[in-house]
Structure 1
Amino acid sequence: MARNVRVMRCTPEDVFRVLENGWLYPLWVVGTSRMRDVSEEWPAEGATLHHSFGSWPIVTNDRTVVRVWDPPRRVVLEPHGGPIGIARVAIDVKPRGDTCVVRIQEEPVTGPTRLLPDVVFDAITRWRNAETLHRLAYLAEGGAPGTSGGASALGHVSTAEEEPVDR
Structure 2
Amino acid sequence: MSRNVRILRCAPEDVFEVLGDGWLFPSWVVGASRMREVDASWPRVGSRLHHSFGVWPLLINDATLVEEYDPPRRMVMRARGWPIGEARVTLDIKQRGESTVVRIQEEAVAGPGRFVPAPLLDLGLHWRNEETLHRLAYLAEGRAEAQSRATTAEHEMGSDEASTS
Asked if TM exceeds 0.5, the reply is yes
Displacement of 1:154 in angstroms is: 3.1
| Matches of 2:23 and 2:82, distance apart in 1 | 20
Displacement of 1:69 in angstroms is: 0.3
Q: Corresponding residue for 1:84? A: 84
Does the residue aligned with 2:44 lie in a helix, a strand or coil? coil
| Matches of 1:3 and 1:151, distance apart in 2 | 27
Q: Corresponding residue for 2:75? A: 75
Does the residue aligned with 1:93 lie in a helix, a strand or coil? strand
User: 1:110 is aligned with what amino acid?
Assistant: A
Does the 8 Å CA contact 1:66/1:78 hold for their aligned counterparts? yes
Q: Corresponding residue for 1:154? A: 148
User: 1:30 is aligned with what amino acid?
Assistant: V
Q: Corresponding residue for 2:14? A: 14
Compare 113-122 and 127-136 and name the one that shifted more. Answer: 113-122
Does the 8 Å CA contact 1:20/1:42 hold for their aligned counterparts? yes
Does the 8 Å CA contact 1:14/1:151 hold for their aligned counterparts? no
| Matches of 2:147 and 2:63, distance apart in 1 | 32
Q: Corresponding residue for 1:57? A: 57
User: 1:152 is aligned with what amino acid?
Assistant: A
Q: Quick one: percent identity of the two aligned structures?
A: 58
Does the residue aligned with 2:110 lie in a helix, a strand or coil? coil
| Matches of 1:50 and 1:153, distance apart in 2 | 29
Does the residue aligned with 1:139 lie in a helix, a strand or coil? helix
Does the residue aligned with 2:83 lie in a helix, a strand or coil? helix
Structure (1/2) with the larger helix percentage: 2
TM-score normalised to structure 2 length: 0.88
Does the residue aligned with 1:134 lie in a helix, a strand or coil? helix
Displacement of 1:43 in angstroms is: 0.3
Number of equivalent positions:
149
Q: How does 1:121-132 map to 2 (within 5 A)?
A: 121-132=121-132
Q: Corresponding residue for 1:42? A: 42
Residue deviations 1:55-75, cap 9 Å, x none? 001000000000000000000
Structure 1 gaps of 5+ residues are: 144-149, 156-167
Does the 8 Å CA contact 1:90/1:106 hold for their aligned counterparts? yes
Q: Corresponding residue for 2:5? A: 5
User: 1:20 is aligned with what amino acid?
Assistant: G
| Matches of 2:146 and 2:117, distance apart in 1 | 42
